[in-house]
Structure 1
Amino acid sequence: MLGVRLDTELEERLAAVARTQGRSKSDIAREAVRRYVDLHDEAYRREARRQSLRASKREGEPHPIWDAIDTDDAAWN
């Protein structure tokens, strides 16, 4: 469980959106956090892969772990 403190203005805006959509503030916050984490996790994985491939060019062959990660990435899409 996670507790988050919001400033008054943001909490009021969140409450207004929740009322408009007929959803709870928690539902909207959960979705927002999920999207943020997905976006940043994906960006982290792309950057890690880019760096690994760049380093592997100096060594000759890409690391086989990226085949498995590519398969996992396809499952995300």
Structure 2
Amino acid sequence: MAHSQTEEESDKMGQFDWFGSIGATPEAVRVLNDQPILFTILLIVLVAIILQCVLLWYIHYATLKPEQKVKKEKKKPAKK
């Protein structure tokens, strides 16, 4: 008995088939299996954005004036 095309496609396991279990459409999974470089580019862009945010936070923190920095208050010893 011959398999239909959808059964043949489901028999083949692609590298990104697990995306289907987290909500990706079958078309998106097919595109990623066909062009895996897109996933690599996505990861590189996300890492670059996160690094840029960390750099911006560091510049903000490093350029604060001393009076703008929040100082930790020393706790007074508890009285008995």
TM-score by length of 1: 0.48
Q: Greater RCO between the two (CA within 8 Å, min separation 6)?
A: 2
TM-score (norm 2): 0.47
Larger radius of gyration: 2
Name the structure where helix makes up a greater proportion of residues. Answer: 1
